[in-house]
Amino acid sequence: MNIKQVDEVKITKYILKATFDDWMSFSENDVVIVGAGPSGLAAAYYLAKAGLKTTVFERRLSFGGGIGGGAMLFHKIIIESPADEILKEIGVKLQKFEDGVFAVDSAQFMAKLASAAIDAGAKIIHGVTVDDVIFRENPLRVTGVAVEWTATQMAGLHVDPLFISAKAVIDATGHDAEVISVASRKIPELGIVIPGEKSAYSEMAEQLTVEQSGEVAPGLYAAGMAVTEVKALPRMGPIFGAMILSGKKVADDIIEKLNLKVRNT
Ligand code: 48F
């Protein structure tokens, strides 16, 4: 077998060219999603499938957020209907316990969900932290995010970020609702109040989290556990149906809004 010979400098040049082609493209987006956990990946899957230019920025060098840790590091989590339909669609194996309640393997769940989002056309960038938003007045709205290398932040270096535009920004950062928090603090005119999530009450939390997922200020949306933080909802623990359905609900809201805008212009 003859392996193609590529010298080191060519490797460097090809990586830089391919990377900067991508960064040039995704500096402007239909939707930016912050966080590649279950809600962010589900939103990315449906938005990309609808043909919207979708970029996900993920702080860590992996996918899945809280999926990977399973339940107290046990490698299974619970899914309830109707989210099982989505999992079937993307090829996740379900172990049925009772009507509408299933256990899934956390590794397969996060791999299949990430792969479904990427195959649908979403771009996922690892190792990048969103630490602020961009906004415009008249009318007041969030119009994008500020991004920084996670490594730069961890090193505590004083480095200015780059800015990325989006018609819609989704906070899918989990319990801390990091993007909505920074927007509420730095742009008080948005009128966002963050009461914080309540203790566990799973059956109520699942329903309310999905229902209350959506726009929290013009251009800024909450999905997943960020919703419980912003809407003072209870937590639910290692049951993940609402995370997937929350991502889908936010994607559907954005698709409808952006399509309406196109029709009206
Ligand atoms: O925490 P996470 O999994 O959020 P989620 O989609 O799902 C929550 C569940 O995993 C679980 C639960 C369900 O019952 O309670 O906790 O709401 O994923 C959030 C992702 O966002 C990344 C973080 O590394 C994780 O992968 N993230 C957080 N803040 C930032 C970020 C940030 N500022 N910039 C980029 N990525």
| pLDDT above 90 (res 53) | yes
Indicate which atom in ligand 1 lies nearest the CA of residue 227: 17
| pLDDT above 90 (res 142) | yes
- What are the chain's domains? 11-69+107-152+166-237 (3.50.50.60)
Contact 37, 227 (CB under 8 A): no
Indicate which atom in ligand 1 lies nearest the CA of residue 247: 6
Count CB-CB contacts under 10 A for residue 156.
7
Q: How far apart are CA 166 and CA 55, in angstroms?
A: 9
14-34 pLDDT, tens per residue? 999 999 999 999 999 999 999
Indicate which atom in ligand 1 lies nearest the CA of residue 41: 6
| pLDDT above 80 (res 260) | no
Q: Is 59 annotated as a binding residue?
A: yes
84-136 pLDDT, tens per residue? 999 999 999 999 999 999 999 999 999 999 999 999 999 999 999 999 999 99
Q: How far is the CA of 38 from the centre of ligand 1 (A)?
A: 8
Q: In this predicted structure, what is the pLDDT of residue 235?
A: 97
Residues with a CB atom less than 6 Å from ligand 1: 34-40, 57-60, 65-67, 129-130, 172-174, 178, 224-226, 235-237, 240, 243
Confidence of residue 188 (pLDDT cuts 50, 70, 90): very high
Q: List Cβ neighbours of 85 (8 Å cut-off, separation of 6 or more).
A: none
Specify the DSSP element, H or E, that contains 227.
Answer: helix 225-231
Count CB-CB contacts under 10 A for residue 258.
17
Q: How far is the CA of 175 from the centre of ligand 1 (A)?
A: 7
**Three-class SS of 101-152:** EEEEEHHHHHHHHHHHHHHHCCEEEECEEEEEEEEECCCCEEEEEEEEEHHH
Structure tokens given for 108: 């397969």
